[in-house]
Amino acid sequence: MSSAAVESLTADQIQVGQQLPPLSQDVTATTVVLGAMASRDWRPMHHDKDFAINRNGLKDIFINTPNNAAWFERYVTDWTGPKGRLGRMKFKMSSSVFPGDRMVLQGSVEGIGTDDTGCCWVDLDLAVLVDGAVSTSCKARVAVPLDVNDNPWQRKGDQWRP
């Protein structure tokens, strides 16, 4: 596939307050274990239900931190397209996501601006919700192209200030 056939959002298509399309995912034990193994996280609370209950005092195995980040990354770049380049991501887990949960990722644009180097940054307010309650809240900063000729991935050194 040529990159010309792949669409990416440009700055002029983004406004403060804009909502990202929500993403729903039914979480199973496989979801949790796949994520843990893919992130090379062998800790038992992410694959051993007995350990999670009797050692950690939780109700089941739960999604691990790097996999949580991977879900947020996928959510952001599903929206921006491949030229969207993550600069920063901060999240706080207030409760865990377990098998049987339906997690919903949602988000909105908090800010958009251009830095001194001409890089366009979009600040996003994101969350994972389970049963309508926030399980993980996340702030992400993603660079997007100013126009179709711009490409944040070409930035290096002092031209990249996440």
Partner 1 sequence: MSAVIPEIPPEVQALIGTEQYREKTTFDIEMGYVYNTCAAVQNGNPLFWDRQVAKDITGGFIAPPTMLSVWFRPHYWAPGAEGEQTALQTHFDLKRLLSLPEAIIAGNEMVFGAPVRPGDTLETYQVIRSISDVKTTKVGRGRFWVIDVEVINQHGEFVGRDTYSCLGYRRDAP
Interface residues with partner 1 (CB under 8 A)? 1-4, 6, 31, 34-35, 37-43, 55-57, 65-74, 77-78, 82-83, 85-93, 151, 153, 156-157, 160, 162
Local structure of 122: helix, strand or coil: strand
**Of residues 2 and 15, the one with the C-beta less far from partner 1:** 2
Q: Closer CB to partner 1, residue 18 or residue 65?
A: 65
Rounded least distance, CB 73 to partner 1, Å: 4
71 or 98: CB nearest partner 1 = 71
* Measured distance CA(63)–CA(75) in Å, rounded: 16
CB of 52 to partner 1, least distance (A): 11
Give Cβ neighbours of residue 11 (< 8 Å, ≥ 6 apart).
112, 114, 120, 122, 144, 145, 146, 147
In whole angstroms, give the CA distance from residue 68 to residue 38: 12
| In the complex, least distance from residue 160 CB atom to partner 1, rounded to whole angstroms | 7
Q: Given the complex with partner 1, which of 17 and 157 has the nearer CB atom?
A: 157
Strands 120-130 and 133-144: antiparallel
Output the smallest distance, CB 90 to partner 1, in A: 4
Contact criterion met (CB below 8 Å) for 32 and 66: no
